[in-house]
Amino acid sequence: MRLYHVSETPDIPVFHPRPPARSDLDPTVGLVWAIEASRLSNFLTPRNCPRIGYHVTAQTTQSDRLRYFTDPAATHGLVIESRWFEAMTRTVLYLYTFDPAGFELQDAAAGYYVARETQTPTGQIPIDNIFSALFACGAELHVVQTLWHIADAVSHSTLDWSLCRMRNALPRNPASFSGIGQRETFP
């Protein structure tokens, strides 16, 4: 098994545990986060890019496969907003690899692993073409104006899914959006 950390920073010599931002985790226990290879496509975007990642499981119905994938052989999907397309073409990512011995599984559906001790990467792989990397992972990429209708639908599907950086997504009602580069707050 290979574990990765995806970053836009090209020169991280060590990863120190940091308090988690998630409210469901103990804020007093610092963690180093890594992702397993099978969920890597969920993180092949600029860091702040809002996105929806999903994948097929043994429980996924044929109806959901047809609804969320255009290729019958596809098993992973990633949805981004169209306003992030240009950033995807310009961003260089760095995949830091880790020895999995220092990590424990935190979330099987998401493929998250955590370590409580400082970790030294075993390697680094630059990704200068995010689209090629996504396709090499076998992911379908869908580009839409707003993510919310898909987020609502996929959360009630038989797919495993992940909503990332949704605080940066356009508002639920695109008509209320006042322009590219601006965000409104919404519940």
- b/e 43-78 (16+ beta carbons within 10 angstroms → b): bbbbeebbbbbbbbeeebeeebbeebbeeeeebbbb
Mean pLDDT lowest among 68-72, 90-94, 120-124: 68-72
pLDDT digits (tens, 9 = 90+) for 127-175: 999 999 999 999 999 999 999 999 999 999 999 999 999 999 998 865 5
Distance CA 158, CA 143 (A): 22
Q: What percent of the chain has pLDDT over 90?
A: 83
Confidence class of residue 187 from pLDDT cuts 50, 70 and 90? very low
Does this model's pTM top 0.95? My answer is: no
pLDDT at res. 174: 54
pLDDT at res. 81: 97
Confidence class of residue 6 from pLDDT cuts 50, 70 and 90? very high
pLDDT at res. 110: 86
pLDDT at res. 109: 84
What length is written for the chain? 187
Q: What percent of the chain has pLDDT over 70?
A: 92
Chain-wide mean pLDDT for the chain? 91
Which phi-psi region, left, alpha or beta, contains residue 113 (left: φ > 0; alpha: ψ -120 to 50)? beta
pLDDT digits (tens, 9 = 90+) for 81-119: 999 999 999 999 999 999 999 999 999 888 999 999 999
